Chain A
């Protein structure tokens, strides 16, 4: 058989393998309770936030606010990102622990196919969830009369890239960690550090800066520097950076965030595949 035809066959087979594994995973997720529970929680959190915004307008009578749809949407994305990174990490590490991957690797499935299939599966789950969220946030805008600004569509696109980094990160963690429990602890610790830094900085920035009190400004400086250093390493910070760029209308910065997210995901997946190839799949 000519070399090109052989290569073409391998590509078709790889595509088929990825399609089968990812579609099975997608169906299994959609028919399981987890998807609906997370969907409920991810809609409840923004609803509570929107309820508090409405309360604020009711109390003050007139309020100047920005991104009343974007901020709840970013909360929604964070919940889904966290869920999908944990889900992808657990899926891989559990199969690793049970030896399922080893069995697959004896067959026509290679590390690249497997990692890509898991990645695509979770992205597909996210796309389904995203479709629901678009309906929900459109309904929010319609019912509350909150402005769905022009940055909402760029934010939707950005969220796919952002979740992609979280899923890829989850897969890498599951490949690196030896046990399911280790993988979960590792992922949650990293998420807590990065999300905690973001939240702490956001909380401190919300304080009055005109009248700096006590050690607050120093802490803010330190947190600011740490957040700036971890910004490009954290899989959870792309969304915030991209949303800021979209709000400013800074297409270049927005593009950089998209490219960074794509490169980050590719790097994570490449490292996961390499790790599986070099170290094998035994827990």
Chain B
């Protein structure tokens, strides 16, 4: 065997393995430290980047479906090489040229749309591997936002519908403005009439004018972009300009990902701290409580996604988003569950109780001391504004075990909606710690017994000999 090979083989021999393993551990630690250091330096680089003024670049202005009923506005500048979308849902990629800058406070790229916002013409080519699977043309689109704040849905209107909706909205909003002008005039007249009525109470009481309602849905301006709807997979996209060449900076990886499981996520509002709810998103989550309490449960549609992919979807312009969460899963709360369901509560005993969804209002205490009460909202107190939240009220007794599940009005249990709520016994902690020492007692007994047995045998052997 030649010298280098022999030396190499001797290094591999087991005789020095501990030393070698220590060296390997040190190398591993060094790698991790260098990686952390690189991360810090890279971040400093990002911070330095914001010093340079934003320059005009090709970007994709994206409207990404969140998997539920909403859309997330996003930006894909050249520095972001992969766009994540929910599979089999419409998302929009609109090619633009704008000024891009890095905002170090939130560690993300931002676009200065007011200084530059130029649409780029061309077709979007989608490749799977090296095969061109689709070529998309740009379409008109507009977004619709419900004016009722409790509705979290967003609507995407495409092609003629986008134009029609916008035109309809403009007509409605113009009419609304006219009605508001009339309302203010009527309100002024009403104030005068009311003043006259106060001065001469014998006359007929004037009636207050009714405030007009705004349009149900606010529609954005119509823009043009590519509507992307793909099955789960890894794709490559690029924009082919009108001159037949690929637009610089338009090539990106497109990841279409799907959810793993669907279910119901619960937001649980404790009565004594209603602004700090607990979340039981996955079916494996159990709610534990210690004392007698009242909670309000709000169910949401939920889907389990890859945590990294979903973080990238929600924070596309942030290069750090999702880092370190590769290979992990997360439950994402989507839209609140609509009407037509009740909450079935089993308490371990015979029978179950059915709880209906109700509107609740949080009423602040008067005076300087902090405090509030949660009361059921009734039509009589509608003048106080909209209710604070809608949910199912459950009164929990300590030490009890509850099982809740959502049931539709036709009696079907909603899959993935079952959760346990358990009252814990706080006194058990010290008992368990003391109980952990029991094996030592057992061990001492075994050793003493063994020794006495050994003595007996030795004694009998001596006697026999």
Contacts and interface: CB of A to CB of B under 8 A. Distances in A.
B18 A186 contact: yes
B278 A64 contact: yes
A68 B193 CA distance: 68
A218 to B, nearest CB: 3
Contact of A145 (B40, B328, B425): B425
Contacts of A5: none
Interface in B389-439: 399, 401, 420, 422-426, 428-433, 435-439
Contacts of B439: 36-37, 39-40, 43, 132
A151 B286 CA distance: 14
Interface string A173-212: 0001110001001100110110000000000110001001
A247 interface: yes
Contacts of B326: 221, 224-225, 228
Given A209-B311, A221-B323, A65 B28 contact: no
B102 to A, nearest CB: 15
Given A143-B431, A185-B18, A223-B324, A44 B293 contact: no
B39 A215 contact: yes
B412 to A, nearest CB: 21
Interface string A34-51: 011101100110011011
A30 interface: yes
A216 B286 contact: no
B426 A58 contact: yes
B51 interface: no
Given A143-B425, A205-B328, A216-B324, A62 B287 contact: yes
B278 A248 contact: no
Contacts of A151: 284
A51 B426 CA distance: 9
Nearest to B261: A248
B325 A57 contact: no
A143 B429 CA distance: 9
A66 interface: yes
A61 interface: yes
A219 B32 contact: yes
Contacts of B293: 61-62
B163 interface: no
A132 B329 CA distance: 34
A64 B288 CA distance: 6
Interface string B11-54: 00011011001101100100110011111101100000000000
A192 B261 CA distance: 35
A35 B422 CA distance: 35
B443 A35 contact: yes
A78 B282 CA distance: 26
B37 to A, nearest CB: 7
Contact of A217 (B282, B324, B420): B324
Nearest to B13: A178
**Interface range for A:** 35 or more
B18 A68 contact: no
Contact of B324 (A35, A62, A220, A248): A220
A185 B15 CA distance: 12
Nearest to A200: B32
B36 A219 contact: yes
Contacts of B136: none
B289 interface: yes
Contact of B25 (A144, A189, A204): A189
Contact of A36 (B24, B286, B425, B440): B440
A189 B18 contact: yes
A218 B35 contact: yes
Contacts of A256: none
Given A31-B450, A33-B443, A145-B425, A63 B288 contact: yes
B381 interface: no
A166 to B, nearest CB: 17
Contact of B429 (A51, A136, A149): A51
Given A36-B442, A47-B435, A217 B320 contact: yes
Which among A68, A193, A218 has the greatest number of chain B C-beta atoms within 10 A?
A218
15 contacts: A36-B444, A39-B439, A40-B443, A44-B433, A47-B429, A51-B432, A54-B424, A64-B278, A65-B286, A178-B15, A182-B18, A192-B25, A209-B311, A212-B321, A215-B38
Given A62-B288, A214-B40, 18 more contacts: A31-B450, A37-B443, A43-B435, A50-B428, A54-B428, A58-B426, A62-B287, A143-B432, A146-B424, A176-B14, A177-B17, A178-B15, A216-B39, A218-B39, A219-B324, A222-B32, A225-B326, A228-B327
